[in-house]
Chains A and B, each alone.
Chain A
Amino acid sequence: MEEKQVKNYIISTIVENKPGVLHRASNMFRKRGFNIDSISVGPTEHKDLARMTITINGDETTVEQLVKQLSKLIDVIKISVLNPQSSVIRELALIKLHVPDAKARSDIINYANIFRGRIVDVSPASITVEITGTPDKIDAFLSLASTFGIKEIARTGITALVRG
């Protein structure tokens, strides 16, 4: 048996923009036992089409089967597995951090600046930072920020487009 190499894959699909489409897709993932990392859906330049972006960590056979099962869904119109080298990949995260003192406050603001993040909310005991970027960049910020104590995180999941 050949070694099964596990990698991160990003699958970008164009789907019908109508109720029930996400349900059909997620139902299929559950039924076939695919363990999806993230899924994001949003409108496109055509109002009757939506883009659904799925990320999964798996081996080639699993991803190939996932793609086939997705294309079998009647509401899925186009499907491509993105090559990370030739794609723009973004995720947005909102991170609410504890602010015990003034030093922490200025440290957080510094780190946020280094990561080109934005401070989107401030209260006496917390700061909320918005970071946009590749998932790796967000992970890096999170590991730094964890020293302050993370209150809450909201991540959108990946969305992506092919370059050019």
Chain B
Amino acid sequence: MIKMSGAHALIEALYKEKVEVIFGLPGGAIMPVYDVILDSKIRHILARHEQSAAHMADGYARASGRVGVCMATSGPGATNLVTGIANAYMDSVPIVAITGQVPRSMIGKDAFQETDIIGITTPITKYNFQPRHASEIPKIVKMAFQIASVGRPGPVVIDLPKDVQTEVADMDFPDKVEIRGYKPNISPHPLQVEKAAELLTKAERPFILAGGGVIISNASQYLQALSELLLAPVATTFMGKGCFPENHPLSLGVIGMHGTLEANKSILEADVLLAVGTRFSDRSTGKIDEFCPDAKIIHIDIDPSEIGKNKAVDVPIVGDVSKTLFELYNSLSKRLEKRENSLWLKRIQQIKEEFKDKVRVEKDKDLVPQKVLRELREILPIDAIVTTEVGQNQMWASLYFKVYKPRTFISSGGLGTMGFGFPAAIGVKVARPDVPVVDIAGDGSFTMTANSLATSVTENIPVIVVILNNSMLGMVAQWQRLFYNRRYSAVELGKFPNFVKLAEAFGAQGIRVGSLDEFKRAVKQALESDVTTVIDVPIPPEENVFPMIPAGKGLREIIY
């Protein structure tokens, strides 16, 4: 037992969890903690808006596989975190968000900057805590990290009343905690694994749909081994992008609303579908009743509540994806011979040929998103990490920027949060200073969190922003073109801001390019520079992202 204040105990407990960085912004109700941070070994990175602090922690967590930490004061500081917390919740990202709170005696009195952040974040966190005594802090921090990172990951909030931060108490730092209500089932049931193996052995047209769970569970190698053994083509969900190398002969790219033609066409011909670490989101499946209605479905997920939530399946397996794929592989390798080819693969090849280059790409123009992103891929090293904003830029990135390694493509999938990509890129760069980090951005999204330029420059965290600048809220404009008779309502952004000047105003480098060649040069210049670079790429304002499955329609109704 050691006597110390709650604030000291918090930082000590974070340190014991091997936290190396906190993204945050101070204020009245969290000042005791900030005073302690000053003397600690943990680096604090000052955000310019708490939403960005949360996205930075999120990017850090996704790139590293570790828990990201962000911090804010009570009231507006805490509510500014909310979008970032919801974002992490939807994409199952382990972050711990620490908020200040008014003193215990003031709670419930509508005190200055009091907000019921526990009430607000209950539906968007795995759990949240409000210690009522300083002595609870060490155990609560331990529990928070355990809950955030074990099983299906997600955000946890710790709300600290100011007088709990200053209260001095005897502290006991446990090495382990028992959470009796939280014991995720890691090991798959052997019987279910056998059933799955049996089904896959008999399958004539096996197909693997791999989701974000494969990345979270670091299961890429098992996935690849399994698909090669089964000769099963692999499509990923948007969240799964990167879990299977997109240059692998069995890769079909991303499925769903803006997925590839070959993925969306082939999956409908499968007789056995192995769905791994995915929640059958509507953006991936289209109209659920028309999604693989005749295929037998095997569903592997660590979260039992995902089984049968959106899609009824034939063989459910609850377990860690890595462990399950490993066991499934072992079982299958006893039953199956390794083969070179199959009728099914020939059919897949045929589908690939049939739809090759079917999506129109502007021939005469140079600076179109498809060409820009292919070029970017050529220039960037294979382990460079890209983040994206939300909208057309994101879907073009998904279609045209091929990814070969897990955790090198980071995007806001479930919530679709504009403004995520840039602060996330900063968090990624903190976790992986050894690789180039690029935010593939839209002009609208980037404007939402562009003030993070200040963080990026002053904290010396250089990243590259490539703005696909259509002077439009492009994705909304696309829907208005396709479904609202071209009636543009509130989507034209005009020609401001001047992104070069904006970058320069923050001490970053800004480059506007006029051709593909200039773009290449700009990226090279950015890669060599040690300051954040914003590359403004003007693209045609009315370009559509195709293929597209209109909302509520089945995969069959894909347009291109």
Interface residues in chain A, defined as those with a beta carbon under 8 Å from any beta carbon in chain B:
15-16, 20, 23-24, 27-28, 31, 61, 64-65, 68-69, 71-77
- On whether the beta carbons of B122 and A27 are closer than 8 Å, the reply is yes
Q: Which residues of B contact A (CB under 8 A)?
A: 118-119, 122-123, 126-127, 147, 179-182, 303-305, 307-309, 312
B107 CB → nearest A CB, Å? 12
CA distance A77 to B180 in the complex (A): 6
Bound-state CA distance A23–B119 (Å) is: 8
| Known contacts A61-B308, A65-B309, A72-B303: A24-B181 contact under CB 8 Å | no
| In the A-B complex, the 6 residue pairs with the closest CB atoms | A68-B305, A77-B181, A74-B181, A74-B182, A31-B123, A74-B127
Does A76 lie within 8 Å of B305, measured CB to CB? no
* Cα–Cα distance between A128 and B111 once the two chains are bound (Å): 44
- Give Cα distance in the complex from A76 to B183, angstroms: 11
Asked if A74 contacts B303 (CB within 8 A), the reply is no
Known: A16-B181, A77-B180, A77-B181. A72 touches B305 (CB 8 A): yes
Which residue on chain B has the smallest CB distance to residue A65? B309
Tell me if B181 and A64 are in contact (CB < 8 A).
no
Contacts A74-B126, A77-B181: A65 and B308 contacting too (C-beta < 8 A)? yes
Partner of B308, one of A15, A16, A20, A64: A64
Instruction: Give the residues in chain B near A64, CB-CB below 8 Å.
Output: 308
A18 smallest CB distance to B (angstroms): 10
Most chain A C-beta atoms within 10 Å of own C-beta, residue among B147, B309, B312: B309
Minimum CB–CB distance for B383 against chain A, Å: 35
If A64-B308, A68-B304, A69-B305 touch, whether A76 touches B181 (CB-CB below 8 Å) is yes
Q: Given known contacts A20-B118, A61-B312, A71-B305, what 8 new A-B pairs fall within 8 Å (CB)?
A: A16-B181, A23-B119, A24-B122, A68-B305, A69-B305, A72-B304, A74-B127, A74-B181
User: Would you give the shortest CB distance from B153 to chain A, in whole angstroms?
Assistant: 13
Q: Can you pick out 15 interface pairs between chain A and chain B where the beta carbons lie within 8 Å of each other?
A: A23-B122, A61-B308, A65-B305, A68-B309, A69-B305, A71-B304, A72-B303, A72-B304, A73-B181, A74-B127, A74-B179, A74-B181, A75-B181, A77-B180, A77-B181
CA distance A31 to B122 in the complex (A): 10
In whole Å, how far is A28's beta carbon from the nearest beta carbon of chain B? 8
Minimum CB–CB distance from A120 to chain B (whole Å) comes to: 35
B312: chain A residues within 8 A (beta carbon): 61
Q: How far is the CA of A65 from the CA of B123 in the complex (A)?
A: 17
Residues of A within 8 A of B307 (CB): 68
Whole-angstrom distance between the Cβ of A24 and the nearest chain B Cβ? 6
Measured in the bound complex, the distance between the Cα atoms of B304 and A24 in whole Å is 19
Across the interface, do B305 and A27 meet the contact criterion of CB distance under 8 Å?
Answer: no
Q: How far is the CB of A75 from chain B (nearest CB, A)?
A: 6
Q: Interface of chain B, helix or strand or loop or mixed?
A: loop
When distances are taken between beta carbons in the complex, the residues of chain A under 8 Å from B309 are 65, 68
| Chain B contacts for A75, CB-based, 8 A | 181
Chain B nearest CB from A23 CB (Å) reads 7
- Which residues of chain B come closer than 8 Å to A65, judged between CB atoms? 305, 308-309
Report B539 CB to chain A, min CB distance, Å.
39
Taking CB atoms, residues of chain A closer than 8 Å to B127 are 74
Residues in chain A near residue B304, CB distance under 8 A = 68, 71-72
Q: Which of A16, A65, A68 is most buried by chain B, counting CB atoms within 10 A of its CB?
A: A68
A37 to B303, alpha carbons, bound, how many Å? 27
**How far in angstroms is the closest Cβ of chain B from A105?**
47
Kindly state the separation between the CA atoms of A76 and B179 in the bound complex, as whole angstroms. 11
How many angstroms between the C-alpha atoms of A15 and B505 in the bound complex?
Answer: 55
Nearest residue (CB) in B for A69 is B305
Residues of B within 8 A of A15 (CB): 181
Residue of A nearest to B118 (CB): A20
Report A130 CB to chain B, min CB distance, Å. Answer: 35
By a CB distance below 8 angstroms, the chain A residues around B118 are 20
Contacts of A31 in B (CB 8 A): 123
State A73–B126 Cα separation when bound (angstroms): 8
User: Which residues in A have their C-beta under 8 angstroms from that of B123?
Assistant: 27-28, 31
Which residues of B are found within 8 Å of A74, using beta-carbon distances?
Answer: 126-127, 147, 179, 181-182
Q: Quick one: closest A residue to B184, CB to CB? A: A72
Residues of chain A lying within 8 A (CB to CB) of residue B126: 74
**What chain A residues lie within 8 Å of B180 (beta carbons)?**
77
User: Using Cβ atoms and an 8 Å threshold, which residues of chain B touch A68?
Assistant: 304-305, 307, 309
With both chains docked as a complex, state the minimum distance between the C-beta of A135 and any C-beta of chain B, in angstroms.
Answer: 28
A26 CB → nearest B CB, Å: 10
The interface residues of chain A lying within 8 Å CB-to-CB of B303 are 72
Chain A nearest CB, measured from B67 CB (Å): 16
Report A113 CB to chain B, min CB distance, Å. Answer: 45
CB distance from B443 to the nearest CB of A (A): 34
- Chain B residues positioned under 8 Å from A27 (CB to CB): 122-123
Q: Which residue of chain B has the shortest Cβ distance to A61 in the bound complex?
A: B308
- In the complex, the chain B residue whose C-beta lies closest to that of A75 is B181
Which residue of chain B lies nearest to A27 when distances are taken between CB atoms in the complex? Answer: B122
Q: Which residue of B lies closest to A16 (CB)?
A: B181
CA distance A20 to B308 in the complex (A): 28
Nearest B residue (CB) for A21: B181
| Residue of A whose beta carbon sits closest to that of B307 | A68
Q: Which residue on B lies nearest to A73, using beta carbons?
A: B181
A66 → B minimal CB distance (Å) = 10
Whole-angstrom distance from the CB of A78 to the nearest CB of chain B?
Answer: 9
- B308 CB → nearest A CB, Å: 7
Q: For B147, list chain A residues within 8 Å (CB).
A: 74
Chain A residue contacts of B179, Cβ below 8 A:
74
Contacts of B308 in A (CB 8 A): 61, 64-65
CB distance from A158 to the nearest CB of B (A): 23
| Chain B: minimal CB distance from A100 (Å) | 46
Least distance between B423 CB and chain A CB atoms (Å): 27
Complex CA distance for A16 and B182, rounded to whole angstroms: 12
